[in-house]
Structure 1
């Protein structure tokens, strides 16, 4: 460990590297992320360059700067530079893919009930514009469920659909790490199964980059989108879309602009004037991660804290976490002692108390007949944060019993 690396202590000492309020307990990094101060400084430097000489920046400098940034993030996930483009967020990336693809009557789109709500809306939109000729196949998933049982359910649905005449599954939208509940999905096994069945894999990796190791050349998805502004520490509106060369001719950005038919990278490089600083600051985010100890150190700390913190909160509440530990990385889901049949308890009431009275943050959601909270472990949090939140949440829940 270098002297510089040893000066960075995880937990509350790391909060000095971020912009978080001192009296705020931040256990919801998964929703929006937040950036280190050094990344904010780099972000603002690029913004200054844009404003001090906008014509030179946009007409001469931007193309090279974007290429360098794409090269850096592509190397980070072991992908080819020109198979990776920047998009504003994962939702935008998956919109680009699903709206670019052509569908025929009898095509089916496969997805899980745990799909992120925005992507669920996108699937419904595709169904509607094709006037019902494209069918949606939803696989119901209720946690806890083992990876093997989830795979068995996945395979069973595919086999059942294959037996039906005049129809086929065109693609499947799968999560790398689902949002609610926030758990690791066996997506690599699913991609292999989809490939064997000639079904396109569209991976919602919104929570993936920076939270789990990614090796795109090993994973071999057909499409993969992931948010850099969550777990990788880049500014908001910063995500990447991976499309292998074999699929690029049929994929276009959701906003059509100047470079139509000039190639995948060119089309996505310009959808109109915007703040490109969030993409270009990725260098600073990657450098910060190296300085504080690297990916393994970050991921090991967050996983250990998520498991210990989740178990601590569940012990305070007298409930349990969604396990096993193998599906937990930086987010942990804790059941609240309140069933969804309790009509007095709502997510809005919970959030009003969370923000207005207690000044902390978790994500609250319904799943499998109960209310849950999703708590995020991060390098600037420690076990004391989880303990404080546990007693606060208990107080909130007790008020609704």
Structure 2
């Protein structure tokens, strides 16, 4: 597909949108949240950018790339209602949060706050830092569904207040704005406020936020740090993420990773955040196309009708599809009230809870759903174990229709029977 004529109106959401994506016609994608899905018009723009880079790499890198990156930063800062000098572009959310968390000068007695629902790579990062010479402690809050935003807020406050304090101590909380599994909207703005009240740094893992939450206002929420993937729900090319560091904290994140040649040692700095943005304009040779794809991704979304229209369709489809899938499976949705639901539905599947989670179970689901031997259709959705039950996380997108959940139901019934037979003790 060549560049899209944005003077033409878009088709209605649903299966008519599939022509704007490169999916195999035998593939039903209900797992967009994991890796994103690149629209063909954005891919066409990326291909043009690639040709521009390759036509004269020296000209592009030495003369043009900084201005283009700055333009994308300005666009995304406006999108997030924050200052341009507080946002930079990094490879992915894990890259950004690693940069932030490894920038703290950890001391004995410091604490990293996580949850059992913290993304597994970020939980591993906390363990890695705890294994370091300063050994900051990890304090984990356990969240189990069914629950409510009000209950999470109350329990989070109690958890923070129960942490023993001492002079000079740092407490840093890693908070998911939207948890990965279950796929659930967290009351992250309220948790940021609690952190402020309790003297705790807030590091927001917003991997699923941008493009899924309809109106993110970092100026109002005012977290200490916030990172989100642009290649998931925003339709940019993978991998690309935006990293927000409040001006007051830019002295903490002293170096990009890798360290840039424009790094300034603290004694020579005019102010704590000097060179913060410049370090991310150039910290080694990368493929510059993914971060620059933010602009065509935003243009494509505007052509579709904007954030409110996209969010409404996807959330409505997640709610309707989740209920429809639960009815077909004879099970239940996790979020009965809908307060945790954005574009992802979580539905219990008919797999005995006596089958315990393991890498082998995950591999079996992936193999049977994505590389079937007895059917043509391939389906993707995230299967996981939570609170003594097995669930599937379904991502609704602008191409999704209820029929897709019917296909998933048929496949899950088949696969759950096979896995029960193979793994039941």
- Asked if these proteins are the same fold (TM beyond 0.5), I'd say yes
Instruction: Report the Cα offset of residue 225 of structure 1.
Output: 0.1
Q: Answer whether contact 2:107 2:134 (CA < 8 A) is retained.
A: no
2-side partners of 1:250 and 1:347: how far apart? 38
TM-score by length of 2: 0.90
Counterpart selection for 2:84 from 78, 81, 86? 81
The answer to whether residue 302 in structure 2 is matched with residue 301 in structure 1 is no
Hey, what does 1:161 align to over in structure 2? 163
Give the total of aligned pairs. 397
- Cα distance per residue 1:372-397 (max 9 Å; x no partner): 11000000111111111112112222
Over 3 Å counting, the alpha-carbon distance change for 1:81 and 1:120 in structure 2 is same
Hey, what does 1:129 align to over in structure 2? 132
Q: Answer whether contact 1:177 1:184 (CA < 8 A) is retained.
A: yes
The answer to whether residue 364 in structure 2 is matched with residue 349 in structure 1 is yes
Q: Answer whether contact 2:10 2:303 (CA < 8 A) is retained.
A: no
Q: Answer whether contact 1:107 1:170 (CA < 8 A) is retained.
A: yes
The answer to whether residue 341 in structure 2 is matched with residue 338 in structure 1 is no
Over 3 Å counting, the alpha-carbon distance change for 1:290 and 1:187 in structure 2 is same
Moved over 3 A (4+): 3-7, 164-169
Over 3 Å counting, the alpha-carbon distance change for 1:217 and 1:349 in structure 2 is same
Hey, what does 2:301 align to over in structure 1? 289
Q: Answer whether contact 1:316 1:394 (CA < 8 A) is retained.
A: no
Query: Where do 1:25-104 residues align within 5 Å?
Result: 25-104=28-107
Instruction: Report the Cα offset of residue 50 of structure 1.
Output: 1.3
1-side partners of 2:379 and 2:36: how far apart? 15
2-side partners of 1:332 and 1:385: how far apart? 13
Instruction: Report the Cα offset of residue 168 of structure 1.
Output: 4.5
Instruction: Report the Cα offset of residue 167 of structure 1.
Output: 8.2
1-side partners of 2:284 and 2:10: how far apart? 42
Over 3 Å counting, the alpha-carbon distance change for 1:167 and 1:373 in structure 2 is farther
The answer to whether residue 236 in structure 2 is matched with residue 217 in structure 1 is no
Instruction: Report the Cα offset of residue 8 of structure 1.
Output: 2.1
Q: Answer whether contact 1:108 1:167 (CA < 8 A) is retained.
A: no
Hey, what does 2:3 align to over in structure 1? none
- Cα distance per residue 1:243-297 (max 9 Å; x no partner): 1111112212231131212610111121211111111111110011011111000
Instruction: Report the Cα offset of residue 41 of structure 1.
Output: 1.1
Hey, what does 1:105 align to over in structure 2? 108
1-side partners of 2:261 and 2:10: how far apart? 48
Instruction: Report the Cα offset of residue 398 of structure 1.
Output: 2.8
Q: Answer whether contact 1:161 1:168 (CA < 8 A) is retained.
A: no
2-side partners of 1:167 and 1:365: how far apart? 40
Q: Answer whether contact 2:86 2:244 (CA < 8 A) is retained.
A: yes
Where does structure 1 lack aligned partners over 5 or more consecutive residues? none
2-side partners of 1:308 and 1:330: how far apart? 11
Hey, what does 1:367 align to over in structure 2? 386
Structure 1 SS opposite 2:78: helix
Q: Answer whether contact 1:339 1:369 (CA < 8 A) is retained.
A: no
Query: Where do 1:188-203 residues align within 5 Å?
Result: 188-203=189-204
The answer to whether residue 391 in structure 2 is matched with residue 389 in structure 1 is no
Higher relative contact order (Cα pairs below 8 Å, separated by 6+ residues) = 1
2-side partners of 1:391 and 1:336: how far apart? 11
Q: Answer whether contact 1:139 1:154 (CA < 8 A) is retained.
A: yes
Over 3 Å counting, the alpha-carbon distance change for 1:270 and 1:397 in structure 2 is same
1-side partners of 2:9 and 2:379: how far apart? 29
1-side partners of 2:91 and 2:131: how far apart? 25
2-side partners of 1:301 and 1:242: how far apart? 28
The answer to whether residue 305 in structure 2 is matched with residue 276 in structure 1 is no
TM-score by length of 1: 0.95
2-side partners of 1:343 and 1:181: how far apart? 17
Structure 2 SS opposite 1:259: coil
Hey, what does 2:238 align to over in structure 1? 236
2-side partners of 1:254 and 1:63: how far apart? 18
2-side partners of 1:234 and 1:248: how far apart? 26
